[in-house]
Structure 1
Amino acid sequence: MTPITEVAGRRVPLSNLDKVIHPATGTTKGEILHYCAVMAGALLPHLRDRPVSFLRYPDGPGGQLFFTKNPPPGAPPWVRTAPVPRSDDPGARQVVVDDLPSLVWAANLVVEFHTPQWTASAPGIADRLVLDLDPGPPAGTSECCAVALWLRERLAADGIDAYAKTSGAKGLHLLAPIAPTPSAEVSAYAKGLAMAGEAELPRLIVHRMARALRPGKVFVDHSQNAAAKTTATPYTLRARELPTVSAPVTWEEVEAGAAGRRLSFLLGEMAGRLERYGELLAPLTRPGRDRPALP
């Protein structure tokens, strides 16, 4: 029998809380749910009003992984969905995780959260810019950090403040709040940044995805600004051998990472980081903030 718990007045079914999801650390499903509940104050603002895609890994990162945009079967009626028309399904809808009960319900499915750069209330109109820095071996985190520092200065020259987080793997994500802008225009601007980086640092940066071009360089993936694309949500757990988190980091940490310091964080470290640094990505979700327009 599946146990039921009450979360903020909603009855949420939970299951297999003792199941080990990350064998390398013995991390259980119950610990994953606890993490999401403890971090809800930081995580929920990045999910709120954004249609979510799930990468599900119910048997751990070594089991079957599957990416889904459709609401999972059996979703409670109180879980919000929003219309997200697709060419193959004009009536498509996706889950929107707006509150703690919805977050706990989704975490019980064992998922990574992925969200677009726009909200359900303004589809295809981005309010943030994202650059995904993906290293091609033997390049790694330190090279990503060096590229991030260059991009930060380049964005600042355009009046745009950038914030960094780990991808939860070897890369970094840069995020910047912007004035609402059609996704196609943000994509074009982001591609221009990647091309400028490649022109200035050709031994370090590549702007094209082709694998043959990437060994030893950092691919600046600008494509995730497209309206149909998503990026790992800040604070989401990742389906990796270790329970790594897509964790916000300070620019001082990025500088240290460029010098070779570790820049990877597990779920057990995140509450302490939040207490020490606060919500480093709060400017992305702050209502009423003046946001710069793209040049």
Structure 2
Amino acid sequence: MTPITEVEGRRLALSNLDKVLYPATGTTKGEVLHYYAATAAGVLLAHLRDRPVSFLRYPDGPDGQLFFTKNPPPGTPSWVRTTPVPHHGSERARQVVVQDLASLMWAANLVVEFHTPQWRADAPGLADRLVFDLDPGAPATVVECCRVALWLRERLAADGLEAYGKTSGSKGLHLLVPLEPTPSAQVSAYAKELAVQAERELSDLVVHRMRRALRPGKVFVDFSQNAAAKTTATPYTLRARTVPAVSAPVTWTEIEECRSPGELVFLPADMAGRLERHGDLLGPLTGPDRGRPIPDTR
């Protein structure tokens, strides 16, 4: 029998709560839902707010079938908000916008990673943040990503921009920068310029092109997620990896002092303590008037 629960006046059927989603840690679906409801909801909702959500679904755990969807899944309740978004030129589609706890728990019950674009639903293609995805090619790890992140932090600061870090929840690191609303194409051009500079300055450590042959032992500075059609794992989402790693905000001290990959792996049980100590380290991304202009790259 599927338990029915009420969340903010909405009735939800929460299914398969005893199902083990992460065999490596024995983490069940019920524990995943508890993480989202009891630990992450307040901060995660702030980063989901007003952004169309894409879902990477993994209903049978990370070793099962994974599928990425932007359309509202079949059976989406009528009370879950959706928004029109540009799609294939002039065509328009709709995507879910997760605005409240009930919608968050409905989505989490589908077993999803949450992914969002760098723009808000009321201004498609007008980015209010910049992102770099620092992706290490073995034998490089997040330790090398941290070195690159420190270089990018200084380079961005030279242009009057402040960067904030989070783990990808996989192997790497994400840097995010609050911006004045700026066309995504312009943000992409600026981000590419910095990635190329990073490769030039740190040639033994950085590549800015995706070709896998270039990447062993180096960090790929992926600027492509600034494109209007691309998305990035939302802060505090769980990832479909061997263990239920969180895409967790980190301090610059943690980045500076990182000496082994395990130091920057955070599981759901770690997050309540981190939030108590630090609050939302990415809060400035959602604060009003924190964005700054990027230099004109034309």
- After TM superposition, is the score higher than 0.5? yes
Q: Is the 8 A contact 1:129 1:176 kept in 2?
A: yes
After the TM superposition, which residues 107-256 of structure 1 pair with which residues of structure 2 at under 5 Å, given as runs? 107-256=108-257
Paired AA for residue 25 in structure 1? T
Runs of 5+ consecutive residues of structure 1 not aligned to the other structure: none
The residue that corresponds to 1:46 in the other structure is: 47
Alpha-carbon shift at residue 32 of structure 1 (Å): 0.6
Q: Is the 8 A contact 1:114 1:233 kept in 2?
A: yes
Query: TM-score, normalising length from structure 1?
Result: 0.97
The residue that corresponds to 1:21 in the other structure is: 21
The CA distance in 2 between the partners of 1:103 and 1:72, in whole Å, is 14
The residue that corresponds to 1:270 in the other structure is: 271
- How many matched pairs? 294
Paired AA for residue 12 in structure 1? L
Are 2:2 and 1:2 equivalent residues in the alignment? yes
Output one character per residue of 1:5-55: Cα deviation in whole Å (capped at 9) or x when no partner. 110111112111111100111111111111011211110010011000000
Runs of 5+ consecutive residues of structure 2 not aligned to the other structure: none
Structure 1 ranges of 4+ moved more than 2 A: 258-261
Query: What's the secondary structure of 2:236's corresponding residue?
Result: coil
Q: Is the 8 A contact 1:127 1:181 kept in 2?
A: yes
Paired AA for residue 116 in structure 1? P
CA RMSD of aligned residues (A): 1.2
Query: What's the secondary structure of 2:131's corresponding residue?
Result: strand
Output one character per residue of 1:88-114: Cα deviation in whole Å (capped at 9) or x when no partner. 892311100011000000000000000
Output one character per residue of 1:232-268: Cα deviation in whole Å (capped at 9) or x when no partner. 0000000011000000000000011157662111111
Pair 1:216–1:88, CA change in 2 (3 A): same
Pair 1:261–1:71, CA change in 2 (3 A): closer
Query: TM-score, normalising length from structure 2?
Result: 0.96
Output one character per residue of 1:43-76: Cα deviation in whole Å (capped at 9) or x when no partner. 0010011000000000000100000011000011
Q: Is the 8 A contact 2:204 2:218 kept in 1?
A: yes
Percent identity between matched residues is 74
The CA distance in 1 between the partners of 2:86 and 2:123, in whole Å, is 13
Q: Is the 8 A contact 1:144 1:258 kept in 2?
A: no
The residue that corresponds to 2:291 in the other structure is: 291
Paired AA for residue 63 in structure 2? G
Q: Is the 8 A contact 2:141 2:261 kept in 1?
A: no
